[in-house]
Amino acid sequence: MTSTASASVTPSAETAAVALERLRESVPLVQSLTNIVSANFLTNVLLSAGATNAVIDNPHEAAFFAGIAGGVLINLGTPTDFQAEAFEEAARAAHAKGTPWVLDPVGVGGLPWRTKLAAELLAHRPTAIRGNASEIAAVAGLGGDTRGVDSSADAADAVPAALALLDVADAVSASGPVDYVVGRVDGVAETVTVHGGSALLPRVTATGCSLGALSAAYLAVADPFTGLVAAHAHFAVASERAEAASSGPGTFAAAFLDALASVTPDDLRAHARVAKAAA
């Protein structure tokens, strides 16, 4: 579990590398309450990166498991009434037990019922919120033009919304060609960019959902801001390596799992492009 809600230094390639070292040493268990499209690939991503996963998304067990998991992912991709009850139980228990949890607000802003569901989950203060730019804007109540799970906004435009969400979460990220991550350093809000990645990521099902799950794993071993940045950096470096070894989306998916496993802390130190954004 995380030790503090505020980082002591601005997240960087170095702090991401240290977080990866801790991830591999501790092999955190993630509880994933996720959508029917993503569960298999998401689990393989976590196993490849150095964590492990349990898809416990029913209301009879969700609260209990949230109390023993290292981190929890709540993904709104294909919610049912039954699953929505489990979301509430898991979020409430995670908050009460101090288990870090990630809200991935898939499709929020474009679909009223899940938008209302996301608003209700915010009462249990997610440790981190990870989405595309439109989803982050919608969760913050700043509008947003969401097309299903695709973003129609630039991640940089979502930074004000992400900063506003620090009132209800410890760290927030908006994904895009450049990822923007916001959090606090010694209590002061900062924005960090993570450059890189592959254009093939959006062409493989569940990569975004898997980033949410990997974020939950990193939150188990680092403060929220550092953990969220580390997850984005690990994804970016691994996807670049996978693209170089692939010939299209199919081979990329397999190569990406291999790359997540082969990326080392020293690879993050050398290749992760993490920088503090200008004020």
Question: Where does the pLDDT of residue 142 fall: very low under 50, low under 70, confident under 90, or very high at 90 and above?
Answer: low
pLDDT digits (tens, 9 = 90+) for 203-235: 999 999 999 999 999 999 999 999 999 999 999
Global confidence as pTM: 0.94
**Would the pLDDT of 146 be above 60?**
no
pLDDT digits (tens, 9 = 90+) for 233-273: 999 999 999 999 999 999 999 999 999 999 999 999 999 99
* CB neighbour class for 61 (10 Å; exposed up to 12, middle 13-18, buried from 19): middle
**pLDDT averaged over the chain?**
94
State the average pLDDT over residues 119-141.
95
Distance CA 59, CA 48 (A): 28
**Would the pLDDT of 155 be above 50?**
yes
- The answer for residues whose C-beta is within 8 angstroms of residue 279's C-beta and 6 or more apart is none
CB 214 within 8 A of CB 4: no
pLDDT digits (tens, 9 = 90+) for 42-95: 999 999 999 999 999 999 999 999 999 999 999 999 999 999 999 999 999 999
Domains of the chain as residue ranges with CATH: 13-276 (3.40.1190.20)
